[in-house]
Structure 1
Amino acid sequence: MQLKKYLCFLLFCICAFTAQAKDYRASLFGIYSDGVTLNTRSIQYAIDYIHQNGGGRLVFFVGRYLTGSIHLKSNVTLHLEEGAVLVGSLNPWDYDRKVWTSLIFAQDQKNIAITGQGSIDGRGRYIARNIVDMIHKGLIKDQFRFDRPEAECRPVLVYFRNCEDVKIHEVTMQNSSSWVQIYDQCKTVEIDRITVDSKAYWNNDGIDIVDCDGVSVTNSFIDSDDDGICLKSHDASKVCKNIVIRNCTVRSSANGIKFGTASYGGFSNVKISNVKIYDTYRSAVTLAAVDGGFVENVQVDSVQAYNTGNAIFLRIGERVKGKKGRMENIHISNIYVEVPATKPDAGYEYEGPTEDMPRNISPAGIAGMPDALIENVTLKNIEIRYPGGGNPMFAGVRLTDLDKVPEKPEFYPEFSMFDELPAWGLYVRHARNIKVEGLTLSCEKKDYRAAVVLDDVHGANFKAVKISKPDKRDWIYSHKSTGVVTK
């Protein structure tokens, strides 16, 4: 019996020692925290060593660790203690490119993670400036549209492709020169309690989830110069599916949460709940199927948006001739939005583009195509507060001329794409089976437009609608529509 106890104690000690041995201090590998020494090769050696020896955590303590591109391997965690900063090099030649240019790569790996209360700083505006310099010198070939390098040419902070069992916990990601983090065709990704603070350059999407299966984004704060949380489908044979976004706060100079713009495959089984969005230039929520792909089985619940340019925008388009999208089974409930009279992101360093001014405030929108209707949409307990004050001198299309509203199937999908619309609250076009229960629309000042306009809508049921406005115009106008019921 004594021998058995001794063996059990010995086994416990060995297990405890083994678990402890799986943490490796960065300094063990000659990785310096002075912010000056370029540690790329040392960090990569450490990752390779840990990977080859059964896996573990590479732990960075307080300090600034300068590096170029590194490649994470299976069973390895980068753990950044509070006060530890992984700092991106300012030399463009210190970065690798594999589809995207990135600071941290992983491809075809399993069980990888970035954790801890430290941060990753891409120093985006400075590395982008140096890339521009190289383009001007002819050393980097780039389309250089809009006087900026293409997004793929500028380093993102994280690019993981075809990886499985990924965890991103607690870390702060800041100052990317392009999209902040991309998870491309990955399975089982858990993003929790992270902070994104990236307003350093153009195209600073906070989180991009591309053709992934099984992703959760929870308890996180996103402040970005482009779309906050963005689902994309780059591959027509893939689907971005089984996604959960919950308990997050988002600010964006574009859209708070967006599906697309790239929508070649599809989006399926997505749940968004308990999200706060503020100071956001475009829509709180945008769902787009404009490249031949589909959007189906989406639930959006409990979203609050303040000082946001638009509430909800659903769009089917045809950016590639002959490839129309599909959208169906969308359930949006318990939404509160305040739309301001002024530009919501005014004053931010890289704010959204200024639309043709002056213009009237755009309504929430559901816009399909004549031969590709958006189907089976439920809006329940929705409240949107508008500033009102629509000026008829800016009017583009009258209610009697709704056929003149342009289709623009090939255009970039955004709420203002149709220019002036004859509705101030909700505009639905080319749709079927729309159910609205508990809709409250209000505007502070008189608006010459109707609150709700339906155009080519078949099967629309409105129940418990409250319209607060300063005039006595009928709240709904229907054109070329059938089966419209109001209670």
Structure 2
Amino acid sequence: MSLKNYLTFALLAIACPQLQAKDYRTSLFGIHSDGVTLNTRSIQYAIDFISQNGGGRLVFNVGRYLTGSIHLKSNVTLHLEEGAVLLGSLNPWDYDKKVWTAIVFAHDQQNIGITGQGIIDGRGRYIARNIVDMIHKGLIKDLFRQDRPEAETRPVLAYIRNCENVNIRGVTMQNSSSWVQIYDQCKNVAIDSITVDSKAYWNNDGIDIVDCDGVTVTNSYIDSDDDGICLKSHDASKVCRNVLVRNCTIRSSANGIKFGTASYGGFSNIKIYNVKIFDTYRSAVTLAAVDGGFVENVIVDSLKAYNTGNAIFFAHWGKGKREERENGKCEHFQYVCGGTCYQARCRL
């Protein structure tokens, strides 16, 4: 199946379950929009109820909805109308951790979504401050390198793992305390017309696509303090494949679009069309296969790069070279630019 046909099928698969979706207003479940009442259990009850009764949308009207970790279930979409804000709690104990800490989780689910013109606000600077306080008190165990909690300890806005038919459309995601949104080993993911504004703390990747198969990122604006769109391969037995990035604008304090750094499996059939990247001090597009993984069938077309360190940068280290580099034993790495392979000293 061609990439075009595959992605068309993926979009149809995502759209079809929504045709019969029923809307449920948050007020039905006693969910409060005052920005003060903690709604975690009420929102979770609503998600569970909707999933168990044929699916539908949980619709948030104008207001501020305070919550800790919630877990999306099959056939449920969170729909945030314009003026609705899903507000992350500032209390570290209000969050669950399943590999990552997150506001919105989804594990092993199908036909899920986050849509609308509303906002998910992680209030990252403040929740990170409170996590640091708990680390200092000895209540949270953390490596606390460089005087900041590990990325997995700080809440991301959404961690979607091993899910199929995921629809993220229209929403604004802002102020994460870590990576903004992670799609990990998912199939058929459509991300369209979203805004990412995340410069609140460290490691603010705009979108992380990890070992997924069939992802479209279209018509979106990303402004992040780390890589804008980051494709990763965390599992040596997996491949991040069939990904389309089109008609997006990215501002990043690192790379605009990056493959890696985690690249244990590989990257295949990646297409990047008509993307504008500006004000990144690293590269507009970085292809980094540094953990023994591979990169194949990549097309970059109509890339517009303004005020960037490089337009396109490719780095490849053979299997085991990253471990050697991290241990100070690697003497050189390879990178390719314009079809020519160069050798350069490691910058340890």
TM-score higher than 0.5? yes
Asked if the contact 1:255/1:280 (under 8 Å) is kept, the reply is yes
**Aligned length in residues:** 322
Q: Is residue 292–residue 323 contact of structure 1 (8 Å, CA) maintained in 2? A: no
Q: Are 2:134 and 1:196 aligned?
A: no
Q: 1:270: which partner in 2?
A: 270
Find the counterpart in structure 1 of residue 10 from structure 2.
none
Q: Percent identity?
A: 80
**Counterpart amino acid of residue 103 in structure 1:** I
Matches within 5 A, 1:328-347: none
How many angstroms apart in 2 are the aligned matches of 1:264 and 1:304?
29
Give 1:406 shift: 4.1
Q: Which of 1 and 2 has greater Rg?
A: 1
1:202-260: CA deviations, max 9, x gaps?
Answer: 00000000000000000000000000000000000000000000000000000000000
**Are 1:58 and 1:77, in contact at CA under 8 Å, matched by a contact in 2?**
yes
Deviation per CA, 1:152-210: give whole Å up to 9, x if none.
00000000000000000000000000000000000000000000000000000000000
Q: Deviations over 1:93-133 (max 9, x none)?
A: 00000000000000000000000000000000000000000
Where does structure 2 lack aligned partners over 5 or more consecutive residues? 1-18, 325-331
User: Aligned partner of 1:172: which letter?
Assistant: T
Aligned pairs (5 A) from 1:321-470: 321=321, 369=334, 406-408=344-346, 417=347
Partner Cα distance (1:374, 1:120) in 2: 39
Alignment of 1:49-128 (within 5 A): 49-128=49-128
Which region of structure 1 is more displaced relative to structure 2, 274-283 or 247-256?
Answer: 274-283
Q: Secondary structure at the match of 1:27?
A: helix
In 2, distance between residues paired with 1:317 and 1:32?
A: 52
CA contact (8 A) 2:313 2:336 kept: no
* Aligned-residue offset at 1:319: 7.6
Conserved 8 A contact 2:248-2:274: yes
Hey, what does 1:243 align to over in structure 2?
A: 243
Aligned partner of residue 113 in structure 2, secondary structure: strand
The 1:119–1:149 alpha-carbon spacing in structure 2 relative to 1, beyond 3 Å, is same
CA displacement at 1:321 relative to structure 2? 4.4
Counterpart Cα distance in 2 of 1:227 and 1:21: 35
Query: Aligned-pair distance for 1:61?
Result: 0.3
* Structure 1 residue ranges, 4+ long, deviating more than 4 angstroms after superposition: 321-324
TM-score under structure 2 length normalisation: 0.89
Tell me which residue corresponds to 2:224: 224
Higher relative contact order (CA 8 A, sep 6+): 2
2:308 corresponds to which letter in structure 1?
Answer: T
Whether the 8 Å contact between 2:266 and 2:295 is mirrored in structure 1 is yes
Shift of 1:281: 1.6
Which amino acid in 2 is paired with 1:308? T
CA distance in 2, matches of 1:368, 1:374: 10
- Cα distance in 1 for partners of 2:79, 2:20 equals 14
Helix, strand or coil for the counterpart of 1:153? coil
State the secondary structure of the residue aligned to 2:152. helix
What is the match of residue 293 of structure 1? 293
- Tell me which amino acid in the other structure corresponds to 1:148: R
1:288/1:25 CA distance change after superposition, 3 Å? same
Partner of 1:178: 178
Structure 1 Cα separation of the partners of residues 158 and 322 of structure 2: 35
Unmatched runs of 5 consecutive residues or more in structure 1:
1-18, 325-366, 380-402, 409-416, 419-487
SS in 2 for 1:302: strand
C-alpha spacing 1:20/1:303, structure 2 compared with 1 (3 Å): closer
The offset of 1:22, in angstroms, is: 1.1
For residues 166 and 85 of structure 1, the distance between their equivalents in structure 2, rounded to whole angstroms, comes to 21
Partner AA of 1:176 in structure 2: S
